[in-house]
Amino acid sequence: MPSLGKKPPEGTRRARRAFLRKIGWAVSALAVGGVSWLMRGRAHQPLRQKLAEENAFAVYVSGPLRPPGSVEEGLFRKRCTGCYLCGEVCPVKAIRFIEGIGPASVTPVIFPGKRGCMLCMRCTRVCPTGAIAPLDESQASEVRMGVAILDKRTCLPHIHRGRCEACFTVCPLKGEAIIQRGLLKPEVVAEKCVGCGLCEEVCPVPTKAIHVLPPDAVERPARKLV
């Protein structure tokens, strides 16, 4: 019968120590990983609260407009992970986030009636997944976020309710995307419009006399703006 006080062989002791070290490393890695995951989650909380769109219904009024450089909608939903980077770098916080479809729980959109896109292209240079293609400011005239639709029934110059050049003045492609005819009446040139939404943002009419709709909404028979 073996003695209870007898030490195990040296090889057995070494194997036991190695096993315990591996257990220790695994526990440490799990602990560090858990803390890191928790910290990342907490770090995103203020950003989520800051960039989350409270009135998601607005997306059905004018939008959703994707940030400039966004790929086709179906592909966009597959690629976007909701990392918030595009919204974080937007200088005017035009990019908001709503419940998404696909890998991301939230996806970036722009509500032009609240804040239009300045076409600075910063968001296009930080997207890590290719949901938004990289562009620079010189390519601003090439993007197609949407198309502005003018409602002449409520536009002030068109109904002879005074002079207003708000949309024309703010348009980054004034004289091309928005032109003026007699009595300073604005007209939208759809082929030139990039859909930045600045015209809708500054329109003084309470219900907005100009709305920016996504490209696919304009290609289909558009519903009447009332």
Q: What's the whole-number average pLDDT of the chain?
A: 79
41 domain residue, yes or no: no
Through-space distance between the first and last CA atoms of the chain, rounded to whole angstroms = 97
Report residue 98: phi and psi, to 5°. Answer: -130, 170
Give yes or no for a contact between 90 and 114, defined as CB atoms under 8 angstroms apart.
no
Name the β-bridge partners of 70.
132
Instruction: Give, in degrees to the nearest 5, the angle at Cα 119 between 186 and 154.
Output: 25
- The residue length of the chain stands at 226
The verdict on residue 76 lying in a domain is yes
**Which pLDDT value is given to residue 8?**
57
d(CA 32, CA 37): 9
Q: What is the pLDDT of residues 21-49, one digit of tens each?
A: 656 555 554 444 444 444 444 545 555 55
Residue 27 placed within a domain:
no
Identify whether 64 is preceded by a cis peptide bond (ω within 30 of 0): yes
Out of 9-18, 30-39, 141-150, give the one with best mean pLDDT: 141-150
DSSP 45: H
pLDDT at 60 > cutoff 50? no
Does residue 49 sit within a domain? no
Q: What is the tally of structural domains in the chain?
A: 1
The answer to whether residue 39 sits within a structural domain is no
pLDDT value of residue 105: 72
pLDDT of residue 56: 44
At 120, list the tokens. Answer: 């600075």
Q: Determine, yes or no, domain membership for 152.
A: yes
The pair of three-digit structure tokens given for residue 172, joined into one six-digit string = 């980054």
Sign of CA dihedral 64, 142, 89, 83: positive
Segments forming the whole domain that contains residue 76: 56-218
Does residue 129 sit within a domain?
A: yes
Q: Specify if 9 maps to a domain.
A: no
